[in-house]
Amino acid sequence: MTPRRDDKADGSPGASHRLEKELSTLREEIGDLVGELDRRRRELFDLRLQLKRHPVAIPLAGLAVAVILGGAVALLVRNEQRKQRPSYKVRQLRRAFGRMMKHPERVGRGEPPPVEKILVAIGTAAATLLVKRALERAVPRPAPKAQASAAVQSPAASR
């Protein structure tokens, strides 16, 4: 015999009915909350409604964005004009010479002499040749297709 199943989830009669009613109430509340959130989302992204509700704030925010962008452009133009002045260039040159005197090891070399370029080219070619030969010895070459097909046909031709 199988044991009989009762509706007594917590030991009292009608407990499952109470749980169903509570769950139903919670579902309705969640549904109401989701509906309210959806309504607020629609209102938030409705530009005409926002302009009606905030007739001063939105134009002021637009003006603030325009002023910030205009100020940034003006600063960039001013900085470029300042860099073109002879006094700025002299100041930068003086700083560069100061850095060069303080740390001569950091000064970059110019173009390498032609002899050095030739030696580098010879070294690169030699290294490439050595690597190529080492790979040829280490990795066996596959047989050409003509030889492979002849090897397959010869046993059949001898029959």
pLDDT by residue, tens only, the chain of 159 residues: 444 454 445 667 788 899 999 999 999 999 999 999 999 999 999 989 988 998 899 889 999 999 999 999 999 999 999 999 999 999 999 999 999 999 888 787 778 889 999 999 999 999 999 999 999 888 877 777 766 555 556 555 554
CA geometry: angle 23, 27, 30, nearest 5 deg: 135
pTM score, whole prediction: 0.38
- Same domain, residue pair 31 and 46: yes
State whether 41 and 65 are in the same domain.
no
Classify residue 65 as left (phi > 0), alpha (psi -120 to 50) or beta: alpha
Flag whether 32 is in a domain.
yes
Q: Where do the DSSP E strands lie in the chain?
A: none
In a domain, 7, yes or no: no
- What is the total count of domains within the chain? 3
